[in-house]
Amino acid sequence: SRLFLMSGAIFMEVTALALRHQNLPTNILTLLEDNTWWQMIEELESHLLPFMAILNHLQRDVAQLSDVLHAFAYFMQLYKHGQDDFSKNMVRRLESRWRQWEQPLLIIAFFLHPKYRNSVFNNSLSLNLPQIGLWVQYYYREWFRARPTVILAELSRFVNREYPFDDDTASNFDDIQEYWKFTIGATKELSILAVRVFSICVNSASCERLFSSMDFIHSARRNRLQLGKVFSMAQMRAEIIYNRTVKMSRELEQHIHANTIIHNNESCQEGSAEISPEDEVIEIGDDNEETTVSDSCEYDVNANPDADNEWNTVLSNWSEDLATEYDEGLVSESLTSADPSERLAHPADNSSAKWCLADLFIVELPVPSAVNSLQLVYNME
């Protein structure tokens, strides 16, 4: 077996090392000869692999809120039936982490997924259609500063699988966000809410990469750059990194396909290429001087000569939008309505917006695709 071969190879290597140096402790050799110890290592590995696969997926830009709840549910399924102390501690830890999330938002993301809808939730926990409808109205009002008028009727059509919410139509789309964009023409309110839900990024990796890139350009020694130029240079650097990543991913996919090792391996596009200072040379002068960017990749610097003006326009529009949202928020607070969703407290302050993770689902959810992909790669090694 793989475990026997692994333990034998390591034991032979350590034994050879001990014969050469004659100073390796005997307790280490005794430990390596113990098959129980190797079984414990393999059991630990079996626990860590699913966490590694799901965390790698959730750190990608394509991760969505429904993926977060699916991960919570998957790990709860793994441990809630265990009677050992480790399983019980894991269940307590998962429940503790789950209470920290804005649960209605994650539940709505799972509810609006055409693969699950309302067929997986435990209705006895006040997770029926009327309760979901209250939170759908709440988020619509908070995000769009408007009172929903037909969103409950559209939600009922979605639950009943009426076109374009039928399974055949949904099966034509691999991207759930693109599916909801397709349905915008058939609905007035529910589709734009769903698009907003599934466009939420569950991690800050993209922002951190942007800030890191800007910090690399606008350092203590290069602090006389204007904001527009920093944004433009960060945009150019991100484009170079992206082109490199795409090129590496395509080469890796071609290599895998040619050798018929793994098909549809999602991990081909994971990771990002980093540009070292040796690969990238940026010479930056004052704003009145020309800036030269040279890199080993070919890139047309003059492709977007109006980058400074475009970024200034974006920032100006952003500032105006923030001011408008603030003013509309002040007006909306003065409105009174009989809509029950307007009387809901924020989920962070609402005790009725918390559910027990162990009892949330009435069915066993499938294993996340990220876990299946990693297990396939691991088994073939």
Q: 296 pLDDT band (50/70/90 cuts)? A: very low
pLDDT in tens, 302-319: 445 555 666 667 667 776
Measure the CA–CA gap between 157 and 160, rounded to whole angstroms. 5
**Residue 282 phi, psi dihedral angles, 5° rounding:** -120, 115
**Rounded to an integer, what is the distance from CA 42 to the centroid of its chain?**
28
Residue 288 reports pLDDT greater than 50: no
Terminal-to-terminal C-alpha distance of the chain: 13
Question: Beta partners for 45?
Answer: none
Q: Where are the beta strands (DSSP E) in 169-315?
A: 280-283, 292-295
* 8-state DSSP, 126: S
Long-range contacts of 326-330 (CB under 8 A, 24+ apart): 328/145, 329/145
Q: Which of 211, 266, 265 is nearest to 238 (CA)?
A: 211
pLDDT in tens, 320-375: 766 665 555 544 444 444 556 566 677 767 888 899 999 999 989 999 988 888 77
Q: 293 pLDDT band (50/70/90 cuts)? A: very low
Position 300 scores a pLDDT of 47
The full set of domain ranges for the chain reads: 2-50, 64-200+349-375, 205-305
C-alpha Rg value of the chain to the nearest Å: 27
**Residue 223 phi, psi dihedral angles, 5° rounding:** -110, 15
- Would you list the DSSP string of 282-319? EE---TTS--EEEESS---GGG-TTHHHHHHHHHHHHH
Instruction: Quote the mean pLDDT of the chain.
Output: 77
Least confident of 208-222, 290-304, 356-370: 290-304
Residue 362: other Cβ atoms inside 10 A: 13
Q: What percent of the chain has pLDDT over 90?
A: 34
Token duo for residue 232: 């433009």
Long-range contacts of 269-276 (CB under 8 A, 24+ apart): 270/56, 270/60, 271/245, 272/209, 272/241, 272/245, 273/241, 273/244, 273/245, 273/248, 274/241, 275/237, 275/240, 275/241, 275/244
Stated pTM of the model: 0.62
Average pLDDT score over residue span 7-20: 58
CA dihedral 131→137→138→141, nearest 10 degrees, is: 180
What's at 88, amino acid-wise? K
Position 325 scores a pLDDT of 58
Residue 271 φ/ψ region, left for φ over 0, alpha for ψ in the -120 to 50 degree band, beta for the rest: left
What's at 17, amino acid-wise? L
